[in-house]
Structure 1
Amino acid sequence: MIVHALALGLGLASLSATAAAAPAGNYVITDVTVIPVDTDEVLRNRTVLIRDGKIARISVQGARTRVEGATVVDGRGKFLIPGFVDAHVHIATEGAIRDSKDPAMAALDLGRDHAYDRQVMLSFLKAGVTGAANLGGSAGSDEDLLWLRGQIDQGRIDGPRLYVGKRINGPRAAVAIKPESTVPASRPEAPYTAADGIAAVRRARERGYDFIKPYQFLNRETYQAVVEESRRQGFITTGHLPELGCASCADRAFAFAHPMTNIAHSEELARFARIGSDLSPKDIEVLAQAVDASGVSVTPTLITLKTIVGMYVQREVASVPGDWIKLVDPVTRLDWTPPANRYLSQAFRDQDGADTFSAGYDFARVLTRELYKRGVRLTVGTDAALPGLAFGVSVQQEMIELREVGLRPLDVLRAASINAHRLFDPDAGSGAVREGERANLVLLDADPLADIQNVSKIAGVFAQGRWLPMIEIDRRLDEGQAFERGLGEQIERIKSAVHPAH
């Protein structure tokens, strides 16, 4: 890739290689193929001007474009598309580590300047992920993410635009048919009254969260209150459908009568079918029709189901694509191994319905195809860092899953970009490659419409309007490896102290 720092005169044809470096935020991509994604059109041989974080102009190559100064990116043979958004992720943060129930892990020396968080953010950018929706974590993790969101928005840390969700869940004992423990008093932190559910949503608004994640152990009253108050507060809702087979959770009809904005897994719908019709193919059309009629969108997370089924069948964590395993930090790797990895436990294998996991994955794939055929808006999500799913690259894996169930490559790109933008940030433009839109973009070395796997062939990204060529991202990730090695050594010492050699 040829990148110049040039001052531009009246025309791009008269570029001078002797000019001073351009001010930050001004870029020109020359002779590039633009795939806007919001329509079926492909714009070849275009010049794209990015100024102050936004796409200022898209013009035919050779047109006279006056620019005070810009960094010029050679787009010959390359394809410009919207940046990807992981619509369902659980981001590892320093705050989550400090919230660990293991005192030794909570006391890990994480150094200064958020080195751990910076590595995770760069991992997203390496995969072309310029937006990520965190669907709930610990209090410390949420605090870290809210801080990181501001740092990224202000250009102090390079990373994806973060959408931070507040998870609201009730106590399992409050809805269980046979409670295994005493039901605690309802409170906004774990509500099972409408009043406490409403209070939880209002607190999330005061704290600055971006959306609400209703979780599965809310009773009917509280679930409805959370969904409706979220709407009044201007929040979108994306999360789990209420638990089935419990004493007071919402049933299938109730959930569709009081729908969330988005359903966080197609497996949530498969659960309805597992209990209602034992995964009968006849239920696919019924469920798809109900989803379509309710107006909700769906994040299928097929790669999540595939990975869980793989752990159940193979009794091991799936391999991470390519050399991405080196970017999985030592804390996350520890979470992927027993006993932390519950998917490899005997208790997981012994649970009721475990023998239907594979059938559930197949059902979810066919259901996703039916949802697509009906025009239900789909988004790309991964549930990373579930064991085997690394931040960033798992988005590319999910895109391949969606292509394999029948989505056109262009519609896969839409699911991975503009659909999520419209879900999480509807007031900030469409997310398409259009004039006036924010410059969160991916520059590819190969055509994704010819082969969706080409989304992994990334020349660089524009994140918050700043150009980061892949060589720069890789360099900075490599620099962070020393920190990660030190973190790994600390963890090995902790493990040795717990299980000393004999």
Structure 2
Amino acid sequence: MSKRAWSAILGLWLGAAAAPAFAAARAETAPAWAVRDVTVIPADTGEVLRHRTVLIRDGRIARILDAGAALRPQDGEVVDGRGRYLVPGFVDAHLHLANEGAIRASKDPVLAGLPLGEGHRYDRRILLNLLRAGVTGAANLGGSAASDEHLLWLRDEIAAGRMPGPTLYVGKRINGPRAAVAARPEGAAPASTVDAPTVAADGIAAVRRARERGYDFIKPYQHLNRQTYRAVIEEAQRQGMITTGHLPELGCADCADRDFAFAHPLRNIAHSEELARYARIGSDLAPADVDALAQAVAASGASVTPTLVTLKTIVAMYVQRTVPAVPGDWAQRVDPVTRREWIPPANRYLSEAFRAQDGADSFSAGYDFARVLTRQLWKRGVPLTVGTDAALPGLAFGVSVQQEMIELREIGLSPVEVLRAASINAHRLFDPAQGRGAVREGERADLVLLDADPLADIHHVSRIAGVFVRGQWWPSERIEALLAQDAAFERDLAERLAPQAK
């Protein structure tokens, strides 16, 4: 892009303080782009396509040409791809997105009273930091009613181009009471409701309500009893909604067992830790037990989001009694509200109650087991996706996706398999109607442009020159300019919360 064109567009962006003005600026950006002389890593195969020019038009990859192909004016603004690598956009397949709806509905009067102002600056900062890390898609695995309502609105604003951010997929969590609560003497157990179902009819109604409200997927949680869990899974299938969440509780009269869960499988299991619960039944594990569990998952057809970095971070807090350091300059980018949740008393992982719970001394072994099990899943061809559980303490939105990619590389996945887990596998899970998610002609243009080769070193996924989101080009400089625009707003939030953190 010429300096003159860049200056004009940047001026539009810097002038956009509120969402409507932002939308107007978006409408005037060029609809077509040409990434010239770039190395393309499609990620659906092991191919590496060198010296290509990628044309992007109407939100999709229109053509992939030899670099020497002549460009026409209608091919759009040129993005310099020399020495760079174009890969599919990353997807965080498991996060809990901080948002203004959750803040305003907080039971904490300090948070609920924060002056967030107009223009959704807080939301925008969270979303821009995801883009800064190459995250072009994000799946929110359930929250409070107010949080969900705001996220459903935010999802639609992003899709309409009125807010910057990755494509959002919003999940509805459906859960019942713990088995110990449900088993109280007759008359004391809570009655079944659509919000906390303990009978199949209410589980079915909960799924239908979620479908009517516009949720993208269902998150079954572990405290659904046997019959309700099955009803939720089967109704979600009838409604054409995927399920990604927790495996059902074990060990009670009305609980599922391992065979039942795999006979009525989730589409995706949200943690390797969930499978660890199913493995640790009765005694220490032998290698054959791990193999049998991995094979059961493979036979069920489920994919898995391992969230290894989540377990690693919890172990670090347990052992070191502090929140682990966030990589690079990302610690400065953790918003003040999230940072407040990372310190006691909000951070339960640093509490004595957490340390005193049964089995706490096996957390480190649990992380090791999750790594071994995830490797066995990979060896059996179980599709893996990248998820982080951000903003769990120590896991910042955006960069935690890169951390999880490194975890998968360390257990044996090749770099292209890691890229596939971080992109294509998640697209197939959450958004199959939009294509495969690969860098191929006709696919939606959700892409990351890297300054270094991720196949040579997976750590290079942090070397981001910019991203394409639904065909719109976001150079890193533009993202930084917008974040700088709201720096004073963030400082004000930090100052208001600082006395509360002491």
- Same fold by TM-score, threshold 0.5 exceeded? yes
Q: Does 1:362 find its partner at 2:368?
A: yes
Q: Structure 1 residues 219, 469: closer, same or farther in 2, change over 3 A?
A: same
C-alpha displacement at 1:248, in angstroms? 2.0
Give CA deviations for 1:257-304 in whole Å, capped at 9, x if unaligned: 100100000010111122344344332101100001001000000000
Report the AA paired with residue 66 of structure 2: V
Answer whether contact 1:3 1:71 (CA < 8 A) is retained. Answer: no
- Alpha-carbon distance in structure 1 between the residues aligned to 2:203 and 2:224: 9
1:118 to 114, 124, 131: 124
Report the AA paired with residue 286 of structure 1: A
Answer whether contact 1:173 1:182 (CA < 8 A) is retained. Answer: no
Report the AA paired with residue 424 of structure 2: I
2:92 to 80, 83, 86: 86
1:244 to 250, 267, 270: 250
C-alpha displacement at 1:64, in angstroms? 3.1
Q: Does 1:290 find its partner at 2:307?
A: no
Report the AA paired with residue 456 of structure 1: S
- Alpha-carbon distance in structure 2 between the residues aligned to 1:448 and 1:408: 10
- Alpha-carbon distance in structure 1 between the residues aligned to 2:397 and 2:114: 22
Tell me which residue corresponds to 2:230: 224
Structural mapping, 1:348-497, within 5 Å? 348-494=354-500
Q: Structure 1 residues 279, 333: closer, same or farther in 2, change over 3 A?
A: farther
Q: Structure 1 residues 3, 174: closer, same or farther in 2, change over 3 A?
A: farther
Answer whether contact 1:27 1:70 (CA < 8 A) is retained. Answer: yes
- Alpha-carbon distance in structure 1 between the residues aligned to 2:134 and 2:260: 38
**TM-score (structure 2 length as normaliser):** 0.93
Q: Does 1:160 find its partner at 2:166?
A: yes
- Alpha-carbon distance in structure 2 between the residues aligned to 1:41 and 1:3: 34
C-alpha displacement at 1:482, in angstroms? 1.1
C-alpha displacement at 1:69, in angstroms? 5.3
Q: Structure 1 residues 356, 279: closer, same or farther in 2, change over 3 A?
A: farther
Report the AA paired with residue 61 of structure 2: I
Q: Structure 1 residues 490, 107: closer, same or farther in 2, change over 3 A?
A: same
Q: Does 1:41 find its partner at 2:41?
A: no
Where 1:275 maps in the other structure, the secondary structure is coil
Q: Structure 1 residues 34, 353: closer, same or farther in 2, change over 3 A?
A: same
Where 1:427 maps in the other structure, the secondary structure is helix
Report the AA paired with residue 304 of structure 1: T
1:200 to 202, 206, 209: 206
Count of matched residue pairs: 482
Where 2:172 maps in the other structure, the secondary structure is strand
Q: Does 1:260 find its partner at 2:260?
A: no
Tell me which residue corresponds to 1:171: 177
Tell me which residue corresponds to 1:18: none
Where 2:328 maps in the other structure, the secondary structure is coil
C-alpha displacement at 1:106, in angstroms? 1.2
Report the AA paired with residue 396 of structure 1: Q
Q: Does 1:343 find its partner at 2:354?
A: no
Where 1:439 maps in the other structure, the secondary structure is coil
Structure 1: any 5+ residue segments left out of the alignment? Answer: 7-21, 497-502
Report the AA paired with residue 498 of structure 2: E
Structural mapping, 1:53-68, within 5 Å? 53-68=59-74
2:104 to 95, 98, 107: 98
Tell me which residue corresponds to 2:24: none
C-alpha displacement at 1:102, in angstroms? 1.5
Which moved further from structure 2: 395-404 or 164-173? 164-173
Q: CA RMSD in A?
A: 2.0
Tell me which residue corresponds to 2:9: none
C-alpha displacement at 1:468, in angstroms? 0.8
Tell me which residue corresponds to 2:284: 278
Q: Structure 1 residues 398, 391: closer, same or farther in 2, change over 3 A?
A: same
Tell me which residue corresponds to 2:239: 233
- Alpha-carbon distance in structure 2 between the residues aligned to 1:251 and 1:123: 41
- Alpha-carbon distance in structure 2 between the residues aligned to 1:45 and 1:494: 54
Where 2:432 maps in the other structure, the secondary structure is coil
Tell me which residue corresponds to 2:142: 136
Answer whether contact 1:4 1:73 (CA < 8 A) is retained. Answer: no
- Alpha-carbon distance in structure 1 between the residues aligned to 2:216 and 2:140: 10
Answer whether contact 1:47 1:58 (CA < 8 A) is retained. Answer: yes
Q: Structure 1 residues 245, 278: closer, same or farther in 2, change over 3 A?
A: farther
Report the AA paired with residue 413 of structure 1: L
Answer whether contact 2:176 2:197 (CA < 8 A) is retained. Answer: yes
Report the AA paired with residue 83 of structure 2: G
Answer whether contact 1:273 1:280 (CA < 8 A) is retained. Answer: no
Answer whether contact 1:175 1:246 (CA < 8 A) is retained. Answer: no
Tell me which residue corresponds to 1:330: 336
- Alpha-carbon distance in structure 2 between the residues aligned to 1:277 and 1:192: 30
- Alpha-carbon distance in structure 1 between the residues aligned to 2:233 and 2:209: 14
- Alpha-carbon distance in structure 2 between the residues aligned to 1:217 and 1:409: 37
Which moved further from structure 2: 388-397 or 147-156? 147-156
- Alpha-carbon distance in structure 2 between the residues aligned to 1:448 and 1:338: 38
Where 2:280 maps in the other structure, the secondary structure is helix
C-alpha displacement at 1:32, in angstroms? 0.3
- Alpha-carbon distance in structure 1 between the residues aligned to 2:3 and 2:149: 38
- Alpha-carbon distance in structure 1 between the residues aligned to 2:205 and 2:3: 52
Report the AA paired with residue 349 of structure 1: R
Answer whether contact 2:179 2:255 (CA < 8 A) is retained. Answer: no
Where 1:349 maps in the other structure, the secondary structure is helix
Q: Structure 1 residues 176, 481: closer, same or farther in 2, change over 3 A?
A: same
- Alpha-carbon distance in structure 2 between the residues aligned to 1:302 and 1:137: 21
Answer whether contact 1:3 1:74 (CA < 8 A) is retained. Answer: no
Q: Structure 1 residues 38, 67: closer, same or farther in 2, change over 3 A?
A: farther
Tell me which residue corresponds to 1:9: none
Tell me which residue corresponds to 1:15: none
Answer whether contact 1:128 1:392 (CA < 8 A) is retained. Answer: yes
C-alpha displacement at 1:467, in angstroms? 0.6
Report the AA paired with residue 162 of structure 1: L
Answer whether contact 1:201 1:226 (CA < 8 A) is retained. Answer: yes
Answer whether contact 2:86 2:447 (CA < 8 A) is retained. Answer: yes
- Alpha-carbon distance in structure 1 between the residues aligned to 2:412 and 2:369: 14
C-alpha displacement at 1:178, in angstroms? 6.5
C-alpha displacement at 1:492, in angstroms? 2.8
Answer whether contact 2:340 2:501 (CA < 8 A) is retained. Answer: no
Report the AA paired with residue 171 of structure 2: G
Tell me which residue corresponds to 2:20: none
- Alpha-carbon distance in structure 2 between the residues aligned to 1:172 and 1:3: 61
Q: Structure 1 residues 4, 282: closer, same or farther in 2, change over 3 A?
A: farther
C-alpha displacement at 1:4, in angstroms? 8.0
Identity of aligned residues (%): 72
- Alpha-carbon distance in structure 2 between the residues aligned to 1:425 and 1:144: 21
